[in-house]
Amino acid sequence: MSSQVSGFWTDDHGTREAMIDAYTRFNYICDPHGAIGYKSMTMLKDNEFGVFLETAHPAKFLDTVNNTLGIQTDIPEALEILKARVKSATFLENDYDSFKELLLSN
């Protein structure tokens, strides 16, 4: 089964090229990580198919997206609201029991 799965990477230049290609061809704004997935799809053979999933809104990378595509994108209201929230983080050991304990304590 693992022989049927492949991976792909590209450098910053290739990422920007993919962002531009997706925007030019499909009017789709990729975040940089999604652009790598998009670029991998362009390398498939005719009898292959693939799926790429975006994990972040392009607004997370606003400067990169705007500078690469030469556009001015807006931050959606739902994300704008999050900017006012205080960030918090909890350090956990790489251990399932610590993770489980944190989840159950909240």
How confident is the prediction along the chain (106 residues), in pLDDT tens digits per residue? 677 777 788 999 999 999 999 999 999 999 999 999 999 988 888 888 888 888 889 999 999 999 999 999 889 898 889 888 998 888 888 999 999 999 999 7
pLDDT at 1: 65
pLDDT at 8: 82
pLDDT at 55: 82
Considering Cα of 80, then 53, then 21, then 33, what sign does the dihedral take?
Answer: positive
pLDDT at 10: 93
Sort 54 into a burial class: Cβ within 10 Å, 0-12 / 13-18 / 19+.
middle
Listed residue (88, 17, 28) closest to 57, CA to CA: 28
